[in-house]
């Protein structure tokens, strides 16, 4: 009988133990990624009409940056396709140039947008205007 009571109390205590808060997968806590994604979507939207453009990634975009970027492009109205026959090839990369300086390059069809970004550990801000090459 004693064991049954102890077991029941243990089950109750374990059941009442608070769980650590789960981190939301929707909230992006990386300031550089969040800022660059918003900037790329705005830059691409200036060149291409979102509702009229189907973007086809040229390689799998399954990392945190790629997933966030595709979600933001869809939210803006771009359609994401799977076949280049039915859409415009799309690629985007963020490369560290030196120290806290990054180069963001977005290739949409034959158009290439490029811009520098600075990340000081807390804040991310642009290091210049978008350059556009056709």
Q: Is residue 5 part of a domain?
A: no
- Could you write out the DSSP letters of every residue in 28-80? ---HHHHHHHHHHHHHHHHHS-GGG-EEEESS---SHHHHHHHHHHHHHT-EE
Computed over every residue of the chain, the mean pLDDT equals: 84
Q: Is residue 10 part of a domain?
A: no
Burial of 123 (0-12, 13-18, 19+ CB in 10 A): exposed
Whether 22 has a pLDDT exceeding 50, the answer reads no
Number of domains in the chain: 1
| Predicted pLDDT at 35 | 94
Q: Is residue 63 part of a domain?
A: yes
pLDDT digits (tens, 9 = 90+) for 35-58: 999 999 999 999 999 999 999 999
Q: How far apart are the first and last CA of the chain?
A: 82
pLDDT digits (tens, 9 = 90+) for 85-96: 889 999 999 999
Q: Is residue 12 part of a domain?
A: no
Q: Is residue 7 part of a domain?
A: no
Task: Say what the pTM is.
Answer: 0.76
Task: State how far the alpha carbon of 14 is from the alpha carbons of 17, 70, 118, in Å.
Answer: 5, 41, 47
Domain ranges, residue 103:
27-133
């Amino acid at each position: 009988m004693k064991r049954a009571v102890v077991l029941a109390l243990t089950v109750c205590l374990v059941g009442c133990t608070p769980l650590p808060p789960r981190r939301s997968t929707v909230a992006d806590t990386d300031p550089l990624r969040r800022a660059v994604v918003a900037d790329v979507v705005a830059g691409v939207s200036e060149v291409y009409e979102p509702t009229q453009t189907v973007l086809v990634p040229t390689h799998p975009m399954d990392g945190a940056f790629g997933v966030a970027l595709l979600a933001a492009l869809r939210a803006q109205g771009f359609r994401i396709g799977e076949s280049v026959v039915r859409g415009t090839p799309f690629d985007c990369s963020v490369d560290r140039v030196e120290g806290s300086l990054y180069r963001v390059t977005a290739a949409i069809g034959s158009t290439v947008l490029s811009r520098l970004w600075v990340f000081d550990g807390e804040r991310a801000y642009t290091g210049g205007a978008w350059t556009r090459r056709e």
